[in-house]
Amino acid sequence: MGKWRKSLTFVLLFVCISSLVGCSRTKIVDKLSIVHIFGFDIDDNGEVIGTALFPEYTHSKSSTKIHYLQEKSDAVALLSPRMGTHTSTPVELAKIRVIVIGNEFAKTGIRDVVDRLLVQPQIATNIQIAVSTHSAEETLKTFKKQGDLTLADQIKHNMTGQLIPRMNLHVFLNHFYGEGLDPYVPMLTIDEEDKLQVDQVGIFKDDKLKLHLNVRETFIFSILEDFRTQATYEVDYDHEDRKENIIIQGFRSKKSWEWIKNKEQLNLKLDLIWSITDRPERFDLENPDDIKVIKELIEKNVKNDTDKLLDTFKEKGVDPIGIGNIIRSQDRNWDEKSFYEQYPSLPINVDVHLEIIHSGLQG
């Protein structure tokens, strides 16, 4: 009986202590300025400018009272402590949802931010990192006017709708530190109505932004990176002295890469399953001959666009697809330095096969 009472007393004591710790932790969190969006720029003297947005109450991401802080320092690690001198509570970065890099800073090089902040254990790897076509300061000020802190949701919506590939800080860091591949991020811009919008994809080489893809390039890049791409693709062509177009929606894609070592040639096979959403009335989707013509038109356009995008990547010296890593997995003698010296002239043969579904006739 004595042992039973001692055990019961110990259990009750443990529960009470746990409850007190939980309450104490809640009180501490309530006394923090929890940053949701953090932006980075660089000034003319090389100092890093940090800009932060956080709600007045930690439980609200749509509070009408969004606070704005800005500080500068020659060391990234000093930004949040300096911001804390302007607030009545400590600035906490552990709950950041989006990192925004200003355009000039992204082109200059962001290694210091990556090495000294983004790899810290308190920063979750499922957050979003994005680059703006403007400064991070201007971007965050514009977003603050919208009265909410849902930028992460806006970026994820574009990924869920398959307008851009799925990505987050985890993907970025894998590409940043990995061999044979380069990182990429969502791009942000400010539209004509002074609102923030997702603007396709930006490609880095090492720690510098090198390329901003347009809509068509982003679509092709997406089918090479994410089999779930469901964005729309338009095929324009001439028919009897007039312009016509076919609009297709992606459904699923499958890619296979083959390295022909003795020829030093890479083969890419793309198997696409798409549906036609609009086409000229002269095409009958119940007619196999018309379906064949449409398929050939689309396959030709996709191949041409893929060739152009791969050539652009080679010309700019960027490898977001990870072609180096693909060849490394098939060639035990692969060497990163020698590979990227030859990368601009690497022959890549693209073969496209399309299956049309949900358009009146499968083919």
Residue 343 sits in the same domain as residue 303 = yes
Alpha carbons 274 and 271: distance in angstroms, whole number: 10
Phi, psi of 27 (to 5 degrees): -65, -40
DSSP-assigned beta bridge partners for residue 54? 67
Residue 11 lies in a domain: no
CATH number at residue 298: 3.30.300.210
Residue 196 sits in the same domain as residue 320 = no
Give the tokens for residue 9.
Answer: 């007393």
Residue 135 sits in the same domain as residue 226 = no
**Per-residue pLDDT for 15 more than 50?**
no
Residue 328 sits in the same domain as residue 222 = yes
Q: End of a domain among 160, 184, 212? A: 212
**Per-residue pLDDT for 6 more than 80?**
no
Question: How confident is residue 57, by pLDDT bands cut at 50, 70 and 90?
Answer: low
Residue 329 lies in a domain: yes
Query: Structural domain of residue 149, as residue ranges?
Result: 31-212
pLDDT for 226-239, tens place per residue? 777 788 999 988 88
Question: How confident is residue 139, by pLDDT bands cut at 50, 70 and 90?
Answer: very high
- The per-residue pLDDT for 5 is 52
- The per-residue pLDDT for 58 is 46
Q: End of a domain among 183, 212, 241? A: 212
The chain-wide mean pLDDT, for the chain, equals: 88
For the entire predicted model, the pTM comes to 0.85
**Per-residue pLDDT for 59 more than 60?**
no
| Cα–Cα–Cα angle for 104, 107, 113, rounded to 5 degrees | 90
What type of residue is 69?
Answer: L
Residue 6 lies in a domain: no
Residue 167 sits in the same domain as residue 296 = no
Alpha carbons 169 and 126: distance in angstroms, whole number: 6
Residue 183 sits in the same domain as residue 290 = no
Residue 151 sits in the same domain as residue 60 = yes
**Per-residue pLDDT for 23 more than 80?**
no
What type of residue is 357?
Answer: I
Mean pLDDT score, 100-112: 97
Residue 96 lies in a domain: yes
What type of residue is 225?
Answer: E
Residue 186 sits in the same domain as residue 37 = yes
Residue 134 sits in the same domain as residue 186 = yes
Residue 208 sits in the same domain as residue 227 = no
Closest CA to 274 of 222, 322, 201: 222
Residue 315 lies in a domain: yes
Alpha carbons 5 and 16: distance in angstroms, whole number: 16
Residue 334 sits in the same domain as residue 248 = yes
Residue 23 lies in a domain: no
Give the tokens for residue 59.
Answer: 């439980």
Contact 75, 135 (CB under 8 A): no
Closest CA to 131 of 42, 212, 43: 212
pLDDT for 190-233, tens place per residue? 999 999 999 999 999 999 999 999 999 999 999 998 777 788 99
Residue 66 sits in the same domain as residue 191 = yes
Question: How confident is residue 93, by pLDDT bands cut at 50, 70 and 90?
Answer: confident
* Count of domains forming the chain: 2
Q: End of a domain among 212, 239, 274? A: 212
- The per-residue pLDDT for 80 is 87
| 265: Cβ contacts below 8 Å, ≥ 6 apart | 259, 346, 347, 348, 349
Question: How confident is residue 31, by pLDDT bands cut at 50, 70 and 90?
Answer: low
Q: Is 193 exposed, middle or buried (CB count within 10 Å of its CB: 0-12, 13-18, 19+)?
A: exposed
pLDDT for 262-294, tens place per residue? 999 999 999 999 999 999 988 998 899 999 999
Residue 18 lies in a domain: no
- The per-residue pLDDT for 25 is 43
Residue 362 lies in a domain: no
